[in-house]
Copies of this chain bind each other. A is one copy, B any other.
Amino acid sequence: MPQKKIRNMEEFAAISGISRPTLSKYFNNPDSVRKSTRQRIEIALDQHDYRPNVYAINQNRQTTRNIGIIVPYLADPFFNEIGRAVEVACIEAGYSPILLSSHGKPDHEAENLESLRSLKPAGVLLAPLGRESNRKTIDKISRDVPLVLFDANIAEVGEAFIGTDNAQSVGLIVEYLCRSGEPPCFFEMKTPSNPNANKRRQAYLASMERHGFTPHIFQAEGHGWGFEEIGQSQGGEMLSRGVFPTNTVLCSNDRLAIGMLSAAYGLGIRVGHGSGCRLRIAGQDDHPFSRFTCPSLTTMAQDYAAIADRAASTLFRIIETNESPETRAETLFDGRLVMRDSA
């Protein structure tokens, strides 16, 4: 148990009998001191529970070991999971992640980037809001520190991009839906802020053409991040008006699908791939709640573990070699078909 409060490294040096510069080396990298010294330090350490002052440490270092992570909307379980995965990757590599949410608003994204700048991070991992992102602010931080984008791409911004191959992902589920029943209609937001939405629409069109079917796109009004609400109200209205020419609807993302499933239930429309079902609904992303919808949702799972790991390791390489790749690499991972009950 601690006898008395240790105020700084000087005092800890006196008590432990190790010189301050050696202690400083140890705290920077425990392996940089001899094993016997390390053990002496660690014994003293858990006798007196001293911790170096973070602020004093970072004041002198030109570059900290902080990594800024920004996701568009942390309340969305999908971004929560991917943000968390990135966080873990940073910790495992010995960095200090700082996970921030833009709460769906460009202003917040800009604010987050600004406050990150003053924390002098070694690098930033950004899942941008997309279309509405403030390019200037992003460029500004990009000049200061290495920046890697994930989830949503913005042309020529940052040193690299890591995400899901929307063409493959949408292509695969369209193929599955066509083979297992009627070809799908496509349900999406009219003005999506996320650039993935546009890629998905294009992938749907291309895929339907490839299979020789006529595409049908239906767009919901509204903006913001209340996708379930929008899927429920507008998707429900479309269902009750009977606008879909086939019995299958592919939603641009799971949250829209969750809303539409809820609406279908309310209308007494039986959803599923079995006989006696009038409607099939599928999604994209494998949202954590898609397992528990009624019926459970057939969807494409993003490999967010791979995305998170690759994004983090790409950033670490840039930081540690201190050189950006000559060409901006765009890495796309395949989605995986998750067949559940809804389609």
A contact residues vs B (CB 8 Å cutoff): 51-59, 74-75, 77, 80-81, 84, 101, 103, 114, 117-120, 228-229, 232, 258-259, 261-262, 265-266, 288-289, 291-296
Given contact pairs A74-B80, A80-B80, A294 touches B294 in the complex (Cβ within 8 A): yes
Main secondary structure of the interface of A (DSSP, over half): helix
* Residues B51 and A59 in contact, CB atoms below 8 Å apart: no
Residue of B nearest to A114 (CB): B51
| Nearest-Cβ distance from residue A84 to partner chain B, whole angstroms | 7
* Residues B119 and A51 in contact, CB atoms below 8 Å apart: no
* Residues B54 and A119 in contact, CB atoms below 8 Å apart: yes
* Residues B262 and A293 in contact, CB atoms below 8 Å apart: yes
Alpha-carbon separation in the docked complex, A116 to B331 (Å): 36
Given contact pairs A53-B118, A54-B118, A228 touches B262 in the complex (Cβ within 8 A): no
Alpha-carbon separation in the docked complex, A58 to B58 (Å): 11
Among the listed B55, B259, B294, which residue makes an inter-chain contact with A265, where contact means beta carbons less than 8 Å apart? B294
Top 6 closest pairs, chain A to chain B, by CB? A294-B294, A265-B294, A55-B59, A55-B58, A262-B292, A55-B55
* Residues A292 and B232 in contact, CB atoms below 8 Å apart: yes
Give how many copies assemble into the complex: 2
| Nearest-Cβ distance from residue A134 to partner chain B, whole angstroms | 14
| Nearest-Cβ distance from residue A124 to partner chain B, whole angstroms | 16
Q: Point out which of A52, A229, A294 has the most chain B C-beta atoms below 10 A from its C-beta.
A: A294
Q: Which residues of B contact A57 (CB under 8 A)?
A: 55
Alpha-carbon separation in the docked complex, A114 to B119 (Å): 20
Among the listed B80, B101, B293, which residue makes an inter-chain contact with A294, where contact means beta carbons less than 8 Å apart? B293
Given contact pairs A55-B58, A84-B103, A294 touches B261 in the complex (Cβ within 8 A): yes
Alpha-carbon separation in the docked complex, A331 to B293 (Å): 36
Q: Besides the contacts A54-B119, A261-B292, what 12 more A-B pairs have beta carbons closer than 8 Å? A: A52-B118, A54-B118, A75-B288, A77-B77, A232-B292, A258-B289, A261-B294, A262-B294, A262-B296, A265-B295, A289-B289, A293-B294
7 contacts between A and B (CB under 8 A): A51-B114, A51-B118, A55-B120, A75-B84, A77-B77, A80-B80, A265-B294
Alpha-carbon separation in the docked complex, A253 to B139 (Å): 45
Alpha-carbon separation in the docked complex, A289 to B261 (Å): 13
Q: Which residues of B contact A80 (CB under 8 A)?
A: 74-75, 80
Q: Which residues of B contact A84 (CB under 8 A)?
A: 74-75, 101, 103
Given contact pairs A51-B118, A118-B51, A228 touches B291 in the complex (Cβ within 8 A): yes
Q: Which residues of B contact A294 (CB under 8 A)?
A: 261-262, 265, 293-294
| Nearest-Cβ distance from residue A292 to partner chain B, whole angstroms | 4
Q: Which residues of B contact A55 (CB under 8 A)?
A: 54-59, 120
Among the listed B74, B119, B259, which residue makes an inter-chain contact with A292, where contact means beta carbons less than 8 Å apart? B259
| Nearest-Cβ distance from residue A94 to partner chain B, whole angstroms | 14
Residue of B nearest to A79 (CB): B75
Q: Point out which of A57, A84, A262, A292 has the most chain B C-beta atoms below 10 A from its C-beta.
A: A292
Q: Which residues of B contact A81 (CB under 8 A)?
A: 75
Alpha-carbon separation in the docked complex, A117 to B77 (Å): 29
Alpha-carbon separation in the docked complex, A262 to B114 (Å): 43
